[in-house]
Every structure is written in C-alpha cells, then in structure tokens.
A and B are shown apart, each in its own frame.
Chain A
C-alpha cells in the first residue's frame, strides 16, 4: 500500500536520525553531560549551545542526545525481554486452554486494572538500584498486552485446518506450536513490537519524570522535562528540547510499526 510505504520511510528516517545521535553520543558530545557553568545558565539556543543551557548551565543538546541513548537502550531491552516472556505465556494460554489459560488470563486482568504507580514503586524499592530495575518494572506493565496478542493469534491458528492436519499426522504439541502456529503470529507480533518500542519510550520518560527511572546525573528526557517545567516561561527550550525528542522518537517508531502493519496485514 502506498500510504504505508510513505509512513514507513518517514519513520525509518526519523528513527535513523535519533539512533545516529544516540550512537554519536557514545563517542562525542559538545559538552560533558554534567558540566556546569553558573555564569551561562539558562542561555538561549545559540551557536555555542544549539539547544541552549539549563538552570545549572549544562548544555541541553549534549544531555538530550545522551538521553536518547539511555531511553533507547531501556526501551529496546524492555521490549525484548517482555516479548520473550509474553510468547511463552501467550502460546501456553492459547494452546493449552482450560485452567492454565484461566489462571494466566486472570492474573493478567488484575495487573491490567492495577495502577502502574504502585507496580513501579514496588519494583523500584524492592529491587536493588540499577538501570535494569526500570526494565523489569516496565516489563511487568507490558506483559499483559503482549501476551493477549500472542494468545489471540494462537487461538486463531489452533483450530486452523493445516494445524489439524498436522496433528493428525502425529506432530507433537511442541512442534505444532513452534513450527506451525508461532511463525504465523510473527507478522502480527512484529508490528506490535515496534509500536511497543514507542510505548516503552513513553513509559520510560514517564517513569523518569517521576524520578523512578535512570538516576541523575545521567540525563533522561523525562527528568529533563520535569526539571524544566518550572522555568518553562523563562527558558522554554529546556522543556521543548527533551519534549520534542520524545515526540519525534515515538512518531518515528509508530510510523515504522504502522508501515509494517499495512504491509503484512492489509
């Protein structure tokens, strides 16, 4: 489809730019991310500081691109772990049915109707500090929707003619699941994974905004936005830079996901 292609290209370009900046930050940033200079605090964007400086005189651009790196790393690992766990749970629930399905789905229902604040707070306080804590917290929040997708897909193909035929030929359950059912779910899962990335970015920035995410002085977009909130009138660039980075990145992944969905499912 034509529209899908355009979206896909736009998405890839934007995502490419963000990823490139994130990679660049590994080797070079114009200033140190925690390099302070009270004399030039809240300076407007200029040639020295293209995104301006924050209220402690740190370079917003340097922080924003390093923030891209942290955010992407968290988002990718979250989606990766979460997808793996969800595939197991979803296949199991969908294929086994009965009480296994019932137990898995009830727990997932309850997690789903449970305020995320509490989940995040528990994870962050119970687990030892470190950046993987936030990944685990996000994972728990994402597993319900991913598992549902896999389960629905499994149900759809479980009773399909070709699966029945193979069962008649004596294929084991595991073989049926992995060789015949699972590959058919992949396209459905793939676009969800990409959209899941943008959701993970959103969730990570929300967590950081609450002070539950990556620890300072490591920059993250959510925290930068929180810190800039009070000076929005005096130094709007401090909030706009991380905010727009979040929007652009989410748009990029949504476009890619949408493009993929249209290509495979339309």
Chain B
C-alpha cells in the first residue's frame, strides 16, 4: 500500500518533471528519458496524443496523412513495432527476408492507422486515467492499465511495455489491449491463415490489397 502510494507519487513527480522539461526544451529529447517510469510514459504519451487529436480538426475528421505524421512523430518512437509485427506473423517471421520484414511492418502499420483513423471523430472530452502500477521497478516487461473516461462506460486500454536494453533507451510498447482484446493476438490467426495458404508474399499481398480498398474509401 505504502509502496504503491510512493510509486504513484513518484509517477506523478516524474510526469511533472517530464512535462516541465518538455515545455522548457520543446523539440529536444529529455536528457533522462531512461529514468521515466513506464506508467508515467504511458500517461504522458496518451495525454499528449489525446490533446493533439482534440486540438486538430483535420485529424479528428480522419485525415490519414496528418494522422500518419502524428503516429510517426509521437507514437512510433515509443513502440517496438518490429516485435509487434513479428509476434502477429508468428514462426514464419524467422523465414522472412529483411525486405519482406520491412514491407510487412509498413503494411501492418498502414492497416492499423487507416482502420482506426475513422474512429477519431469520437474524441471529445475524454481523459486517460492510469491505474496503479502493479509491477516492480526492475521488471523487464510490464503491464500498464489505463481507462479512457468520457461519456458512458469507461474504455479499458492496457499496454505491454518492454525495457529496451541499454541506458537511455527507455520503455517501448509491444502490445495493446482494447476492452479486453489484445491487438497483436487478434491478428495472429488471420495472418497464419494467409501464410498457410499463400506464404509470406501472400500475406503481404493481402495486406496491400486491404490497404488499397481502405484508402480508396477515404
């Protein structure tokens, strides 16, 4: 109890200091990024992204290019997207060539951004509450649980993060849970179906085709 209070206190302190540093040196990376606790990172990142969406009407209306800029500048630096893609692809990932791996990541990212772009006009007065962190400070992988609160029932949004080896590399997200459903896991069987019938190239082709249809509609 006492410990978790301390941790929460520390989280708040870390958040405040990060915000302060961020405000003072806009555009510069905080010098002590490695010291930021994973729950503080999630809080900072989700609040930042949410505020950016709220403030930008073209993002809210689903402007994919602007959303992609937001994703690349704010979200991707804190995500191990290679691990996410590899995990969704499964054992076949090891047989993929470096070129195939790059294309898989690009198409998977486009698929996710395009699909969720249409939902952003739902953003209005929501705020993110990070639930008390249950892990320990020297864990290599942690689960951070949050709630998005707005009108109606709160939405459960959880993150799995891994500690990047080395100093200053910080934490990176490698899976997201929306309302009890893990994103990566939900793609695993679908990807396996494509790979089993048409191989890695077949999966890439299916992703390209889906992205093309989604792109044509918007």
Q: Do A and B come from one complex?
A: no
- Which residues in A have some Cβ–Cβ distance to B below 8 Å? none
- Which residues in B have some Cβ–Cβ distance to A below 8 Å? none
